[in-house]
Amino acid sequence: MTKPHPIPVLLLFAAATAVLVWLLFSGVEDEPPRRAARWAETISDLDACCRRKHVRSEQYDHFAAIAAGERREAAARLFRAMALSARVQEAECAAAIGRLGGRYTPPVKVALFRGATDENLARSLAYERQRLRTAPDIGIARALARGNRLAARALIRAAAGDVRHVVLMERLRDGVSSGAYRLCPRCGNLYEAVSTDPYCPICLTAGRNFIAIE
């Protein structure tokens, strides 16, 4: 009986392995585009939310620096807290985009407003109030209608953050703010330290894990 020559056997094995690897990775690479096409509208809603949160976080950090320069420590803390909250929510929406097969790229450049702290606070309040009145987040409804709970959850948390920020800015403007805050690191929900819940009512994260901003 003739023994098989080792070189052709090795070449055949290498070829079979290469084909198997190609099939495996081509399937993995093709899946995200197919998923992204299926969820294109939802990914667009998430991307818009990400970009808005990114812009607000940059703006709030800028306002915090101005407030600190004016020795307005309470305002500086709130702006810093809102900036961090917006970043957490941006990250959650970005993660949802990735899970759906898309890719999020933050804005390269953000136009920053310049003004005194009172002006910056009034501008931020006016912007958020106007948006809440005139721009209902239909992305949430679209995600829920299609059964995409992942996207709906991220968008709902981001919208809840907008409402919370308005309330906190109003309290600061009216001089009734405590000046210290707690942030849920999972969903970005923001509290005044004196009224922190034992757990986050939005994502159920334990209050002991909240980030202190004082």
Residue 109 maps to which CATH number? 1.20.1260.10
Q: What are phi and psi of 89, to 5 degrees?
A: -70, -35
Going by the DSSP 8-state scheme, the letter that residue 70 receives in this structure is T
Of the listed ranges 44-53, 109-118, 167-176, the least confidently predicted one is 109-118
In a domain, 171, yes or no: yes
Task: Please indicate, yes or no, if residue 91 is contained in any of the structural domains.
Answer: yes
Please check whether residue 75 lies inside any domain of the structure.
Answer: yes
- pLDDT for 1 equals 47
Tell me if 32 is assigned to some domain: no
Note the helical H segments in 5-148. Answer: 6-38, 40-69, 73-99, 117-134, 138-145
Mean pLDDT of 1-26: 49
Does some domain include residue 170?
yes
Residues 6+ positions from 84 with CB-CB distance below 8 Å: 57, 183, 188, 211, 213
For residue 28, being part of any structural domain is answered with: no
Share of the chain above pLDDT 70, in %: 85
Residue 181 pLDDT: 94
Residue 23: pLDDT band with limits 50, 70, 90: very low
pLDDT of residue 9: 47
pTM: 0.82
pLDDT of residue 6 exceeding 80: no
The predicted pLDDT at position 28 comes to 41
The residues facing 182 across adjacent strands are 191, 212
Q: What does the buried/exposed string (b/e) look like for 166-197 if buried means 16 or more CB atoms within 10 Å of the residue's CB?
A: bebbeebeeeebbbbbbbbebbbbbbbeeebe
- Work out how many domains the chain is built from and give that number: 1
pLDDT value at residue 16: 53
Give the number of C-alpha atoms closer than 13 A to the C-alpha of residue 156, restricted to the C-beta side.
14
Domain membership of residue 172 as a residue range: 38-176
24 inside domain: no
Query: pLDDT grade, residue 26 (50/70/90)?
Result: very low
Tell whether the model's pLDDT for residue 33 goes beyond 80.
no
Tokens of 82: 């809102």
Q: What is the pLDDT of residue 25?
A: 45
For the segment 46-103, what is each residue's pLDDT rounded down to a tens digit?
A: 999 999 999 999 999 999 999 999 999 999 999 999 999 999 999 999 999 999 999 9
- Give CA–CA dist 63/78, Å, rounded: 10
Which residues 6+ apart lie within 8 Å of 40 measured at CB?
Answer: none
Q: Which residue has the tokens 């976080």?
A: 57
What span, in angstroms and rounded, lies between the C-alpha atoms of 192 and 182? 6
Lowest-confidence pick of 65-74, 128-137, 155-164, 178-187: 128-137
